[in-house]
Structure 1
């Protein structure tokens, strides 16, 4: 574990802790403590310095706890402890799993991180988030039938996540084709899928999820699009360990069902959450843009768009936004 991680754990309850106490507990110099605090502030954590008394977080936080998460999933995934990698810091959770997965992980493996320094979104964008306050993890699954079997996987995942969040009292969740969760037309979370293997043979799928719970600090100023967070929807603090366990459980179940039944099992649920259903949208593709009314998805996960002439187009890729017209 890194010194930064240990400092955050010690400050997590929001109480003041002096620099000398931190140095003594972790057997490092005061200078090393100051350097760690500085880096955590650069990450976006709001750490206050009180002269002569020490440091404290502006608000308490829930540090991810492996034992709590594994215990919460023990009934549904008995061997989950062997399948979870919980890291204090990583370049990319997707990249980590792609590098480290093996045959023992064929029916699921998870990489969960507090800090992700090279998070990726669609089209090469960087995923911005405040460490220690949000959700960043990836899940790997092995498909024997090849890449063709995974068409529409992000839609099935969105449906599973949306339903789980609503079941936990988060109302107004929407899905934006193909990979985003939204709330009040602002981005709440997103998924990134990497597929490695054979077109018609075995392949690995790694699904990465970033979900905003509490954005602040540096990340809030770096995000160039309207964003939302779960903390806006509830007055009480959100227990990240409980939420992460529920998310993993929902996606684990989704992968199993998707492997047997494909997108069809999730299509109605996805369309119920479709944020732009019946609305005028514009879809930007490599070949230009197309405007029309979003009317749903087909069995392969393509967005169905009806243009002004009444012709229905199947959009297999692209960037969707509400039309200003």
Structure 2
């Protein structure tokens, strides 16, 4: 954190979206104009849209609401909240502290230097544009009880966003949220524990809030953001508080009723329900009609051979 303190102070000063001269910024931070220019380039490397106009100085493309622990905790109870503006990975931060964390502990970041998605893929994480949130949860019933949990988390996030006005948010098996057939968010659940013992889960989420086309140029699939899905977009601190509360409620319910209690809710939100899809399993491609999920969280796919469940392995789903 210390090595980023000057850059974070610079972001805070420019978060009002107004122009600030390099001289004024340098005086406030006790550094030269040349140093300011160097820090600006580094901020651009974080994905911040900073531009310079001769005679006016530097400005962000728009006003930026920074995450604030006090504002979040004023809206939701949280046993432990770590806000680390610049981090390698919110998931990894919690995984490194398993055994030391209370149930429901949360880590938030403005920018991930090594954010990751499923199967080791990189998760693009520009500074301040999105929401990067991870939560720790312990399942005393063990690792087997976590089957289908990514589906339940998807339901929780989709339903929470719907309460905020994003009525058309949908889920995509097994771990994504969609809006109008474009990816809005991804879920990554990582787990540690021994057979017969409690499972320690870290539930990570990356939600595109206001990511611009420029910031998302390296994404290799159709994507969208919450600005497009919600007419009255809440501030990110309110959004974080709503999601933390809903995740806590949903995970508590999941421990009591299991995946079986969520199947109907999934089917109401399923973006691909009763639509033709391609299921990719390694080099194998299976085409059919998506018919929801079963009690184990498997995708039900109807082909000429009938309806069959598919789960685990290297599985991804793509609309035809």
Q: If the length of structure 1 is used for normalisation, what is the TM-score?
A: 0.92
Q: Deviations over 1:232-272 (max 9, x none)?
A: 13455541111111111111111211122221222211111
Mark the runs of 5 or more structure 1 residues left unpaired by the alignment: none
The separation in 2 between residues aligned to 1:300 and 1:190, in whole angstroms, is 21
The separation in 1 between residues aligned to 2:35 and 2:248, in whole angstroms, is 40
The separation in 2 between residues aligned to 1:316 and 1:8, in whole angstroms, is 42
Checking the alignment, whether the CA contact within 8 Å between 1:282 and 1:322 is kept in structure 2 is yes
The separation in 2 between residues aligned to 1:164 and 1:207, in whole angstroms, is 16
Q: 1:266 aligns with which of 256, 262, 265?
A: 262
Aligned residue for 2:42? 39
Checking the alignment, whether the CA contact within 8 Å between 1:130 and 1:214 is kept in structure 2 is no
More displaced 10-residue stretch of structure 1: 176-185 or 278-287 = 278-287
Checking the alignment, whether the CA contact within 8 Å between 2:187 and 2:206 is kept in structure 1 is yes
Q: How does 1:182-261 map to 2 (within 5 A)?
A: 182-216=178-212, 218-236=214-232, 238-261=234-257
The separation in 1 between residues aligned to 2:32 and 2:136, in whole angstroms, is 40
Q: Deviations over 1:48-79 (max 9, x none)?
A: 21223321111111110110001110xxx2xx
Q: If the length of structure 2 is used for normalisation, what is the TM-score?
A: 0.94
Aligned residue for 1:131? 127
Aligned length: 316
Q: Deviations over 1:103-139 (max 9, x none)?
A: 4x24111110001011111122111132111100111
* Shift, 1:221, TM fit: 1.0
Mark the runs of 5 or more structure 2 residues left unpaired by the alignment: none
Q: 2:51 aligns with which of 48, 51, 63?
A: 48
| RMSD after superposition | 1.6
2:296 is aligned with 1:293: no
Q: 1:20 aligns with which of 4, 19, 23?
A: 23
Q: How does 1:44-123 map to 2 (within 5 A)?
A: 44-73=47-76, 77=77, 80=78, 83-103=80-100, 105-123=101-119
Checking the alignment, whether the CA contact within 8 Å between 1:101 and 1:109 is kept in structure 2 is no
